Structure formats: structure tokens, C-alpha cells
């Protein structure tokens, strides 16, 4: 097998080091994003399609960050992330339908936990598999889940799907688009805090160590198989929560809601945003949601734009959109620095 010849040592590193802005500028950007996210409904709240798209961006954001955990931070691969969303969505629907008066935090945790169990099982063989085999395994998983949902009619109602009631706390329900937006935003922020804590912990460093070199990680005393299984479990948990949010947003879960192309689009968004960049993934989610909203009427340009962007970015900007702030800052510096000097040396054209 050619993994022998083109061994990791001779190939380039998977994740190029992320070039960040200084801390102050980053904080400023985060505060700006937070303010926009919070006050956004005050301006657009009356337009339910815009609010739907914004909420979809939040849901995709969590799903894409969960995939980036696996791909960018862990060096693994999943072509079946939509399968995790499906499990989370069905779990949420079943909990909301069959357990009356279930507090929403318990429902969200339940959806995440149910998906995490499946993620654990899917992660078990990954100790022995990597690269292409893992991609094929997860691809099979992603196409099998909707088929199971379609045929397990006693649980899932088959093609009809399950109607999902709006989220509720106590006796208050949150059915309007603006309320759904804030509900999703709160859940997303809590998840992001959890994800950043995991990434900053020794577990997060173990993920990166396994990604960069399994042999070196083993030498450092890291249990590679256990780390990979934990990574799949964690990624599945957050994808399941995203599935829960998506179920409430759509009001319906059905086998058709989780096509293979959705997994592919998530993957495209991870690459667009930049591997191992949470903020990049969130940007990728906004782009995905907006492209989806803008192209839903016209015929089929969404995959052309996304696929074309992935191909071009990989060939020309392998760090993804996450590299843009740094590039912009550098360009600004060069522009400022060059301005006074530009007049002094004559350009080539003037000499000749």
C-alpha cells in the first residue's frame, strides 16, 4: 500500500499553523461578532426568512465546529456528520413527543448523549483505521442512518417523519423565529465555551498530538486509540446537539433531511473556514446558510459554488478563511509602510 511510500514524514503537515491577530484585536473582533449576534433580531426580527437563515447559520455553526473538532483538531475524517445530526434530531423529537414536560436542557443533553453513544461505537474501529478507510467507513454510516430511519417506521414514522414541538421551558413555549434564534444562540454559546475548554485542556492537546504524529503521541504516553474514540464521542455529542437545534428549527425530522450532500457541504465549510479554526468554521457556517438561502430558488448552483470554492482554496489558500484577518492586517501594514517609500526608488518601467 502506498501509505508505505508516501509516509507521513515525507508528506506535509496536515494543519498549517494558524496565524492569529494580536490578542487585543481578536478580543475586539469577538466582542463585535457577539454584539451583532445579539442585536441582529432587533433589526431583522420581522423578516422570518432572514431569521430562519440566521438560525440555520447557528445550527450549521455547531455542526461544522463539531466536524472541525474531528478533522482539523483531531486529524480524523467523517463523511457522515449528517448521520450524527439525524440521530440527534430523532432523539430530540422522540424525547419531546414521548416525555411531556421535559425541561429543554435535559432534552438537549439527551439528544447529545444518544448521539455520543453512536459516536463512541463508530469510533471504536478508528483505532485501527485512518485516512481513506475511515472516510469510507463514515461515508457508509452517513448513508445508512437515513435508510434505517426510513425503514424503522414504528419509531420514526418512515418517510412522513416526526413533527417536533417548539422548545419549552416550564409552561412557556418558544415558537417564533426570533425566540428560536435566541434559543439556538444560547445553546451554541454554551457548546462553544465547552469546546474551547476541551481544546485548552490536556485532552485537547492529546487530540492535536495524535493528529500530528501517532507514534510521537504514543511515546508521550498518550493512549492513541482511547483518544480517537473520545474524539469521535465528543464530536458526535456536539453534532447531536446541533441535530436537536435543527429539529426545532425545521419543526420536522424525516429521512430526507439528512442527505449525503449535507455531510459533504459541512466538510466544504470546514475547509472554507480553515482546519482547526473554530471561528473559521462559524464563518463557513454563515456562508453555507447564506448560499443555501440565496440559491434555493435557482437551480443547483449551491454545490458548484461550494465545490469550486473548496478546490480553489485547497490549491491556492490552504489555510482557509481563518487566515484572512492576518492577511488583511499584513496587507495594511505593508500599505502603511510602503507609502512614504514608494516615491523614492524609480520603478522598473520608468528606468527602461
Partner 1 sequence: MHNFFQFVIGGLGFGGIYAFAALGLVLIFKTSGVVNFAFGAMATVVTLTLWSLLNHAGLPFAAAWVLAMVIAMLIGGFTNGVLMRRIERSAVLVQIVLTLGLLILIEGLAGVLWGYGPKSIPQPLSGNPVNVASFLITPNDLFIIGLTVGVGLLLFVVFEWTRVGLAMRAIAADREVASLMGIRTNLYVTGSWALGTALSGIAAILVAPSLGLEPTMMDQVAVFAFAAAIVGGFGSLIGAVVGGFLIGVASNLIAAYVSTNLQLTLIFAVIVAVLYVRPDGLFGRQAVSRQ
Residue 152 CB, nearest distance to partner 1 (Å)? Answer: 10
**Site for partner 1 contains 314 (CB under 8 A):** yes
By CB under 8 A, the count of residues binding partner 1 is 63
**Among residues 165, 166, 251, 303, the one that binds partner 1 under rule CB under 8 A:** 303
Q: Taking CB under 8 A as the criterion, which residues in 64-103 touch partner 1?
A: 71, 75, 77, 79
Distant-in-sequence contacts of 167-176, Cβ < 8 A, 24+ apart: 167/104, 167/107, 167/248, 168/104, 169/103, 169/104, 170/103
Three cell numbers written together for 146: 437515513
Q: Which is nearer to partner 1, 8 or 113 (CB)?
A: 8
- Contact between residue 217 and residue 206 where contact means Cβ atoms under 8 Å apart: yes
Measured in whole angstroms, the distance separating CA 147 from the mean position of its chain's CA atoms is: 23
Looking at 59-67, 108-116, 147-155, 168-176, which segment touches partner 1 (CB under 8 A)? Answer: 147-155
Residue 118 CB, nearest distance to partner 1 (Å)? Answer: 13
Residue 240 CB, nearest distance to partner 1 (Å)? Answer: 19
Q: Taking CB under 8 A as the criterion, which residues in 117-146 touch partner 1?
A: 125, 128-133, 135-137, 139-141, 143-144
**Among residues 43, 49, 301, 335, the one that binds partner 1 under rule CB under 8 A:** 301
Residue 91 CB, nearest distance to partner 1 (Å)? Answer: 19
The CB density around residue 299, as the number of other CB atoms within 10 Å, is 6
Q: Which is nearer to partner 1, 275 or 278 (CB)?
A: 275
**Site for partner 1 contains 5 (CB under 8 A):** yes
**Among residues 147, 296, 333, 342, the one that binds partner 1 under rule CB under 8 A:** 147
Cα–Cα distance, 349 to 335 (Å, whole number): 21
In the shown chain, the binding pattern of residues 153 to 192 toward partner 1, with x for contact by CB under 8 A and - for none, equals ----------------------------------------
In the shown chain, the binding pattern of residues 13 to 52 toward partner 1, with x for contact by CB under 8 A and - for none, equals xx--------------------------------------
**Among residues 253, 268, 269, 287, the one that binds partner 1 under rule CB under 8 A:** 268
Residue 276 CB, nearest distance to partner 1 (Å)? Answer: 12
Three cell numbers written together for 68: 472541525
Q: Which is nearer to partner 1, 86 or 249 (CB)?
A: 86
- Contact between residue 296 and residue 337 where contact means Cβ atoms under 8 Å apart: no
Amino acid at each position: 500500500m502506498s501509505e508505505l511510500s508516501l509516509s507521513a514524514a515525507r508528506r506535509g503537515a496536515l494543519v498549517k499553523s494558524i496565524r492569529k491577530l494580536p490578542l487585543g484585536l481578536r478580543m475586539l473582533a469577538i466582542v463585535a461578532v457577539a454584539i451583532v449576534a445579539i442585536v441582529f433580531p432587533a433589526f431583522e426580527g420581522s423578516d422570518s426568512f432572514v431569521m430562519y437563515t440566521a438560525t440555520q447559520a447557528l445550527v450549521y455553526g455547531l455542526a461544522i465546529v463539531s466536524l472541525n473538532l474531528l478533522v482539523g483538531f483531531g486529524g480524523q475524517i467523517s463523511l457522515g456528520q449528517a448521520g450524527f445530526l439525524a440521530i440527534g434530531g430523532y432523539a430530540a423529537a422522540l424525547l419531546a413527543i414521548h416525555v411531556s414536560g421535559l425541561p429543554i436542557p435535559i432534552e438537549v443533553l439527551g439528544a447529545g448523549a444518544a448521539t455520543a453513544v453512536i459516536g463512541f461505537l463508530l469510533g471504536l474501529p478508528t483505532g485501527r483505521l485512518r485516512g481513506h478507510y475511515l472516510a469510507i467507513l463514515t461515508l457508509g454510516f452517513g448513508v445508512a442512518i437515513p435508510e434505517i430511519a426510513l425503514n424503522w417506521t414504528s419509531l420514526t414514522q418512515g418517510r412522513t417523519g416526526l413533527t417536533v414541538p417548539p422548545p419549552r421551558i416550564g409552561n412557556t413555549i418558544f415558537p417564533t423565529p426570533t425566540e428560536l434564534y435566541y434559543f439556538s444562540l444560547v445553546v451554541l454559546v454554551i457548546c462553544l465555551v465547552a469546546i474551547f475548554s476541551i481544546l485548552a485542556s490536556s485532552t485537547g492537546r492529546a487530540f492535536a498530538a495524535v493528529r500530528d504524529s501517532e507514534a510521537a503521541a504514543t511515546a508521550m504516553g498518550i493512549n492513541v486509540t482511547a483518544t480517537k474514540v473520545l474524539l469521535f464521542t465528543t464530536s458526535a455529542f456536539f453534532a447531536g446537539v446541533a441535530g436537536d437545534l435543527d429539529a426545532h428549527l425545521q419543526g420536522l425530522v424525516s429521512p430526507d433531511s439528512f442527505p449525503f450532500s449535507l455531510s459533504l457541504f459541512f466538510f466544504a465549510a470546514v475547509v472554507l473556514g480553515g482546519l482547526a479554526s473554530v471561528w473559521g468554521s462559524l464563518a463557513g457556517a454563515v456562508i453555507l446558510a447564506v448560499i443555501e438561502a440565496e440559491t434555493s430558488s435557482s437551480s443547483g448552483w449551491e454545490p458548484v459554488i461550494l465545490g469550486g470554492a473548496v478546490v480553489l482554496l485547497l490549491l491556492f489558500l490552504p489555510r482557509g478563511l481563518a487566515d484572512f484577518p492576518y492577511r488583511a492586517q499584513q496587507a495594511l501594514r505593508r500599505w502603511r509602510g510602503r507609502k512614504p517609500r514608494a516615491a523614492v526608488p524609480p520603478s522598473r518601467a520608468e528606468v527602461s
